[in-house]
Structure 1
Amino acid sequence: MLKKAYFASPLFSEMEVMYNKYVVSEIKKTFSDLELYVPQDQEEINDKNAYADSIMIAKLDTDQLLSCDFMIAVLDGAAIDVGVATEIGVAYQAGIPIIGLYTDSRQQGATNQKKLDALQEIAESQFSYINLYTVGIVKTNGTIVNTIDELIKAITPYC
Structure 2
Amino acid sequence: MHLYFAAPLFSESDVLFNAQLAKAIREKYPDHTIYLPQENAAINDKQAYADSKMIALADTAEVQKSQLMIALLDGLTIDPGVASEIGIAYASGIPVVALYTDSRQQGAMNQQKLTALQTIGENQFHYANLYTIGLIKLNGAIYASTSELLLGLDQYLKERDV
TM-score (structure 2 length as normaliser): 0.93
- State the partner residue of 1:95: 93
Question: Contact (CA 8 Å) 1:30, 1:152: kept in 2 or not?
Answer: no
Tell me, in whole angstroms, the C-alpha distance in 1 between the residues paired with 2:49 and 2:26: 30
Q: Of the two structures, which has the highest relative contact order with CA contacts closer than 8 Å and spacing of 6 or more?
A: 1
Q: Does 1:11 align with 2:9?
A: yes
The within-5 A match list for 1:35-54 is: 35-54=33-52
1:22: which partner in 2? 20
CA distance in 1, matches of 2:143, 2:119: 29
Aligned length: 157
Q: Secondary structure at the match of 2:147?
A: helix
2:151 alignment partner in structure 1:
153
- Where does 1:120-131 land on structure 2 (aligned, <5 Å)? 120-131=118-129
Structure 1 gap segments, 5+ residues each: none
Partner in structure 2 of residue 136 of structure 1: 134
Q: How many percent of aligned residue pairs carry the same amino acid?
A: 52
Instruction: Give the corresponding residue for 1:68.
Output: 66
Q: Secondary structure at the match of 1:12?
A: coil
Bigger shift: 149-158 or 9-18? 149-158
* In structure 1, distance between residues paired with 2:31 and 2:112: 47
Letter in 1 for 2:33: E
Deviations 1:100-128 (A, max 9, x none): 11010111111111111111111111111
Q: What secondary structure is seen at the aligned counterpart in 2 of 1:106? A: helix
**Cα distance in 1, alignment partners of residues 119 and 78 from structure 2:** 25
User: Hey, what's the Cα distance between the residues in 2 that align with 1:70 and 1:138?
Assistant: 11
Taking the aligned partners of 1:9 and 1:113, their CA distance within structure 2 comes to 33
- The unaligned stretches of length 5 or more in structure 2 are none
Two-structure CA RMSD over aligned residues (Å) = 1.0
